[in-house]
A and B are shown apart, each in its own frame.
With several copies, the nearest count.
Chain A
Amino acid sequence: MNTLALLVAVGSSDVVTPDSPPIDTGTTAWMLVSTALVLLMIPGLAMFYGGLVRTKNVLGTMMHSFAAMAIIGVLWVVAGYALAFGPTVGGVIGWDPSKLLLAGIDQTIMEGGIPEYVFAMFQGKFAIITPALIAGAFAERVRFLGYCVFIALWSLLIYNPLAHIVWGGGFLTGDAIDFAGGTVIHVSAGVAGLVAALYLGARRGFPRVAMHPNNLVMTMMGAGLLWVGWFGFNAGSSVESGLKTAQALTATQAAAAAGALGWMILEGWRHGKATSLGLVSGILAGLVAVTPAAGDVLPVGAMALGLLASAACYGAIAIKNRLGYDDTLDVFGIHGVGGIIGALGLTFFLRDVPEGGIWVQFGHQVMGVLVAGAASAVGTLVLLVLVEKTVGLRLEERGELAGMDHSMHGEHGYGLLNPN
């Protein structure tokens, strides 16, 4: 479960030496593929989110994901990797000047036989997707420039430390089980989303005005790509191409299917109808919940987590609807809640009883969730205030009513609606 940390510790601290481990072409192949698969999740997310907003915001919402590819894509190469996976400074952040611009790892082969570049790129996709996830919470109402600044800072100041703390040699590395990023990615994004939704306030007209998804068809396509990409996300996090990888992939598949089935049944029972949005939400809930657990639970445990997450997320969204705040695309309801369910719940389904016993491990898990949640909450709030007061984040009324596509990007998504 501490594969990442160990690999990094061993493999990357020094430059290539005559005795660097030989390449394992199979593992390298799988890690290359995993990198591509996680990259695929980003357009997948853009489609998933893009389909759920109103027609006038479809491009703007997709741009949130795509801008993350551009901005974090550059930042990660420049400094992110050095900050997250450099030797630890006080357990909270890494620092390795030789890794700036990835210069120092040009020839490094890691323990396990893969070039460190591949590991760095694989991790980079995680860094990209996390802020892109948050964007769902304040969809349809932010300024593009403010958003860009926000995610850049969030990535540098919140994501990188968190990744370092849990995976990169920081103070939680090795305690909490977080196979593929349940806390670092989903809990932190979910909590950040919640804070942002509360701080920025609801969309104008919410909930009075009906706000319908413009393209559920695209949302379903996106969900399909997310499922496929998640195989890279989870099974790739084994950083090998072997038994653990297979276990992670199996758990991922089982949890996603169980989550989808669970939500379908819940809706069928409560509303007499199973919706497509419900089914894909269930897929997501299952995938999120199994993320921290993928390599460490049996298929039956994965299915249990998927079902649990489905029910919990369904409930969380129901509660949100009653509380009335506007987490537009339910980032907290799915990623926050699902991530917590997964991170805590996995304790009870572990393949191997953990060293200190179940409850000690549960303590570690709670700790992990709390650290990620708290760090993300506080950090996000500070950044939100900062960005809002400087470049401005919340979109002004005129722009919001006109829609982000027109007011922020000077375009509209579906030219086909206009005779031309």
Chain B
Amino acid sequence: MKLITAIICPERLDQVRQALIKADITRITVTRCSGRGQAESLEIYRGLEVGPELVPKIRVDIACNDEFVQVTIDAILDAARRGEGEVGDGKIFVTELQQCIRIRTGESGGTAI
């Protein structure tokens, strides 16, 4: 099992969710966060253009079985990219998931995902 963590642009969240659902991945966890990659996004404060160091981002966490990893990544890659790809489109991180337990039933492992 893998834990896929994507940091994406807030405006693409709806698209990413839809792409995932189309790929049959419905379970996700979403968190507001802020980030700084290469992206610069100017804001205006009383006539001064300020580069907000940290811009709002969305973190999407998806636990999935190994065979779904590539599908999930592809779906995200596709849906999170703006146009031909822009600075700030985001990142995907993949880590190994050792265990996964469904609280309701207590079952664990691949079926609990």
Contact = CB atoms under 8 A, between A and B. Distances in A.
- Do A and B assemble together? yes
A281 B44 contact: no
A418 interface: yes
Interface in A264-282: 267, 270-271, 273, 275, 277-278, 281
B30 A419 contact: yes
Interface string A195-226: 00000000001001110110000000000000
Contacts of B30: 419
B62 to A, nearest CB: 15
A213 B52 CA distance: 11
A52 to B, nearest CB: 9
Nearest to A274: B44
A271 B55 CA distance: 20
B43 interface: yes
A59 to B, nearest CB: 12
Nearest to B50: A210
A418 B54 contact: yes
B103 interface: no
Contacts of B51: 210
Contacts of B13: 419
A403 to B, nearest CB: 7
A210 B56 contact: no
Contacts of A210: 50-54
A411 B47 contact: no
Interface string B24-53: 000000111010000001111111111111
Nearest to A418: B34
Given A205-B14, A401-B11, A412 B46 contact: no
B50 to A, nearest CB: 6
Contacts of B58: 419
A275 to B, nearest CB: 5
Contact of B43 (A317, A333, A411): A411
A10 interface: no
B81 interface: no
A277 B42 contact: no
A56 to B, nearest CB: 7
Query: Which size class do B's interface residues fall under?
Result: 20 to 34
Given A271-B44, A411-B44, A212 B32 contact: no
B47 A314 contact: yes
B5 to A, nearest CB: 15
Given A418-B34, A419-B54, A410 B42 contact: yes
Interface string B1-30: 000000000111110001000000000001
B41 to A, nearest CB: 8
A419 B46 contact: no
A330 interface: yes
Contacts of A417: 32, 56
A93 to B, nearest CB: 37
A382 interface: no
Contact of A267 (B18, B41, B44): B44
Given A401-B11, A402-B11, A420 B54 contact: yes
A85 B41 CA distance: 48
A410 B48 CA distance: 11
A270 B12 CA distance: 29
B43 A410 contact: yes
A107 interface: no
Contacts of A333: 46
A271 B49 contact: yes
A318 B54 contact: no
A56 B52 contact: no
Interface in A369-420: 398, 401-403, 406, 409-412, 417-420
Given A277-B46, A419-B58, A212 B52 contact: yes
A412 B42 CA distance: 11
A210 B11 CA distance: 14
A321 B47 contact: yes
A402 B13 CA distance: 10
A333 to B, nearest CB: 8
A412 B56 contact: yes
A200 to B, nearest CB: 20
A327 to B, nearest CB: 11
20 contacts: A56-B10, A56-B11, A210-B50, A210-B52, A267-B44, A277-B44, A277-B45, A281-B46, A317-B47, A333-B46, A401-B12, A402-B10, A402-B11, A403-B10, A403-B11, A410-B44, A417-B56, A418-B34, A418-B54, A419-B10
Given A401-B12, A411-B44, A419-B58, 11 more contacts: A56-B10, A212-B45, A212-B52, A267-B44, A270-B47, A275-B44, A277-B45, A278-B47, A330-B46, A418-B52, A419-B31
Interface of B: 10-14, 18, 30-32, 34, 41-56, 58, 82
Interface of A: 56, 205, 208-210, 212-213, 267, 270-271, 273, 275, 277-278, 281, 314, 317-318, 321, 330, 333, 398, 401-403, 406, 409-412, 417-420
